[in-house]
Amino acid sequence: MENINSIIDKFNFKGTLKKCEPFGSGHINSTYFAVFDDCGTERKYIIQRVNTSVFKQIDELMENVFSVTSFLRKRIKAEGGNPDRETLHYITTADGKKYYRAENGECFRAYIFVDNSICYDSVDSPEVFEKSGIAFGKFQRYLSDFPAETLFETIPNFHNTAWRYENEFLPALEANKSGRAVNCSKEIEFVKAHRADCSRLVDLTEKGELPLRVTHNDTKLNNVMFDADSDDAICVIDLDTVMPGLALYDFGDSIRFGANTCAEDCDDYEAVKINLDYFKSYAKGFLSQAGKSFNKCEIDNLAFSALLMTFECGMRFLTDYINGDTYFKTAYPEHNLVRARNQFALVADMEKHMTEMEEIIKNL
Ligand code: ADP
Ligand code: GN1
Ligand code: MG
């Protein structure tokens, strides 16, 4: 593996390196926080080793993120915002490229650290969660006239739950590469019992009832930076999965992560519940920005999308567990199984509260 320090001189960083250390809690890329001394001024950057087994076409991926961020900059400026603070700012390599590919094939990219910002792994108040809803809703609104046809699909079928069931979950089960299927028969049955749910949004999209929009597709709370002073959600990050998708994916995925009473990998499954106050706060924030253009079918499926995105993520964790942990980063052998059980506990609780969730949306 390439030493992170050895790639420093490949980028147009300002100053001399003071420190570079692993950072954040993303499940996909390897992220580092680097500080440089530029004649007495501190310059902070994020450097990432991009996960090339998840993202196969790095040229296209980086084309996407550069074009999305430059589009966002113009939109933010037009609305009187501060583009330097409210969107990611990528640094090109010393020879002007969008990323650096090492001889061993590893790919690195760099961007400016959003200064005086913090990132949350869990929500501690409905206000904070509402602010993240505003940020992701605004993100979707800003990109509503982005030319979607120019976007490369970085992970095809990313939120096609039915496709994931048929083409990932069932084959993983069949191959049972890790031999672990025996440890999770209850969870496997849970997934099979929900097969019908997998097709609902896909079918509505095929029928033309749900419109494709440019969406973020990975709207977890730790993919938005908050201002350390005002606690406003300022900058949406992790743009690798910005692709044509459904508004419902962005809504549902945020609820999955942020309105869980527990962390995504908490193994106290009894304690895993949907926090309806948080659900309401996020919906209020998100809809205040993106909701004006939603059609009735989108509104009618908001509550269900939270359940589906939670189910899909649980199925992905379970699939990865059965495959032997090849996709998500894990900290211990049963990590993916614990995550899957946690997500399924949340699905079960959402099922109990679906009428209340739908009621909340109606009343907004
Ligand atoms: P992953 O795809 O692995 O989730 P992310 O792009 O989300 O990677 O980055 C991982 C973490 O690094 C984020 O959750 C956040 O804490 C931090 N991070 C990423 N980009 C920035 C940035 N520009 N400024 C500050 N922190 C950042
Ligand atoms: C991954 O990259 P990160 O940690 O923000 C994953 C999401 C999952 C999430 C589960 C590209 O998000 O789809 O919902 O983990 N991202 C990718 O926590 O697969
Ligand atoms: Mg992330």
- 237 Cα to the center of ligand 1, angstroms: 7
* pLDDT tens track for 24-59: 999 999 999 999 999 999 999 999 999 999 999 999
Provide the pLDDT confidence category of residue 177 given band limits of 50, 70 and 90.
Answer: very high
Closest CA to 131 of 232, 236, 253, 258: 232
- 329 Cα to the center of ligand 2, angstroms: 10
Residue 123 has a pLDDT of 87
- 40 Cα to the center of ligand 3, angstroms: 31
Q: Is the CB of 46 under 6 A from ligand 1?
A: yes
Closest CA to ligand 2's atom 12: 27
Closest CA to ligand 1's atom 13: 24
- 253 Cα to the center of ligand 2, angstroms: 10
Structural tokens at position 288: 């205040």
Provide the pLDDT confidence category of residue 3 given band limits of 50, 70 and 90.
Answer: confident
Integer-rounded Cα radius of gyration of the chain: 20
Residue 313 has a pLDDT of 99
Residue 6 has a pLDDT of 86
Residue type, 82: N
Closest CA to ligand 1's atom 15: 24
Say which ligand is closest to the CA of 154.
2
Which residues have CB under 6 Å of ligand 2? 26-28, 54, 218, 220, 223, 238, 240-241, 264, 313
Q: Is the pLDDT of residue 2 over 80?
A: no
Closest CA to ligand 1's atom 10: 26
SS3 category, 193: helix
Does the predicted TM-score (pTM) go above 0.95?
Answer: yes
Of 6-15, 156-165, 297-306, which range is least confident?
6-15
How does strand 117-118 pair with strand 90-91?
unpaired
Q: Is the pLDDT of residue 76 over 80?
A: yes
Residue 347 has a pLDDT of 99
Name the residue of 21, 28, 31 whose CB sits within 8 Å of the most ligand 1 atoms, as the mutation to test its pocket: 31
Q: Is the pLDDT of residue 244 over 90?
A: yes
Q: Is the pLDDT of residue 1 over 80?
A: no
Tell me the average pLDDT of the chain. 97
Q: How far is CA 124 from the centre of its chain?
A: 19
- 28 Cα to the center of ligand 3, angstroms: 7
Residue 5 has a pLDDT of 82
Name the residue of 220, 242, 264, 330 whose CB sits within 8 Å of the most ligand 2 atoms, as the mutation to test its pocket: 220
CB-based contact 346:260 (threshold 8 Å): yes
Q: Give Cβ neighbours of residue 309 (< 8 Å, ≥ 6 apart).
A: 159, 249, 252, 253, 255, 256
- 171 Cα to the center of ligand 1, angstroms: 32
